[in-house]
């Protein structure tokens, strides 16, 4: 991570943490009153092929003991009423500002993967994780809804795992590598704005630039 990118992360994280602190407190209180403890969900993710960290989110699912893998249709009945709203608005990701301040992740980059996928596909993630993972990124903007659509019909954990490995990981990795070839502060800012204002189309921009690169 370049000093300029780290500086942008810190300034943006501090600004948003102060601005959104009341929102975070309200969300935490609603979860506590409506769903009970725990308020937060912590999961191990990878920031390099060998370095793990704990990613923090607001809890959006009922706790059923040990959990693993990505969320597909097989876990839909576990999503709480509050959790559906938080996921739709992405407010569940507010606590990740702490991960940005710590330097675990950036604002923009590939989504941090689970250890199991990094170990299963070292060739893919060895390249993808050359970029610091982020809260949002090209793959998040361009593929997130498609991923949800692909995983929603999955009725079992095994089916979810198969669809995710075969149809999601390769496409997300392709987009993450396009980002890596085009990344700069201006592109990062465009992706950050595009996360809030969906009308902006960084996806077409990046693909065009990647295909046109000599």
Tens-place pLDDT, residues 124-170: 999 999 999 999 999 999 998 999 999 999 999 999 999 999 999 99
The predicted-structure confidence for 61-88, as pLDDT tens digits, reads as follows 998 867 667 888 889 999 999 999 999 9
Where b means 16+ CB within 10 Å and e means fewer, 171-186 reads ebbbbbbbbbebbeee
Other beta carbons within 10 Å of 147: 21
Question: Is the pLDDT assigned to residue 36 strictly greater than 80?
Answer: yes
pTM: 0.86
Measured distance CA(102)–CA(99) in Å, rounded: 5
The answer to whether the CB of 213 falls within 8 A of the CB of 181 is: yes
């Amino acid at each position: 991570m370049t000093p300029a990118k780290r500086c942008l992360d810190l300034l943006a994280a501090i600004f948003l943490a102060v601005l959104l602190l009341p929102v975070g407190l309200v969300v935490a209180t609603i979860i506590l009153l409506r769903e009970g403890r725990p308020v937060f969900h912590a999961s191990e993710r990878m920031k390099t092929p060998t370095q793990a960290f704990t990613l923090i989110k607001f809890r959006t699912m009922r706790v059923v003991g040990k959990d693993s893998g990505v969320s597909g249709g097989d876990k839909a009945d576990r999503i709480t009423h509050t959790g559906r709203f938080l996921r739709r608005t992405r407010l569940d990701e507010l606590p990740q500002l702490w991960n940005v301040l710590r330097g675990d992740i950036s604002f923009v980059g590939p989504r941090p993967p689970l250890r199991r996928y990094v170990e299963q596909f070292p060739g893919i993630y060895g390249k993808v994780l050359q970029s610091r993972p982020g809260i949002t990124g090209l793959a998040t903007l361009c593929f997130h809804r498609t991923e949800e659509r692909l995983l929603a019909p999955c009725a079992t954990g095994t089916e979810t795992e198969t669809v995710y490995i075969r149809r999601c990981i390769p496409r997300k990795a392709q987009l993450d590598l396009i980002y890596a070839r085009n990344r700069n502060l201006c592109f990062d800012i465009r992706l950050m704005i595009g996360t809030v204002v969906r009308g902006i189309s960084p996806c077409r921009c990046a693909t065009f630039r990647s295909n046109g690169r000599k």
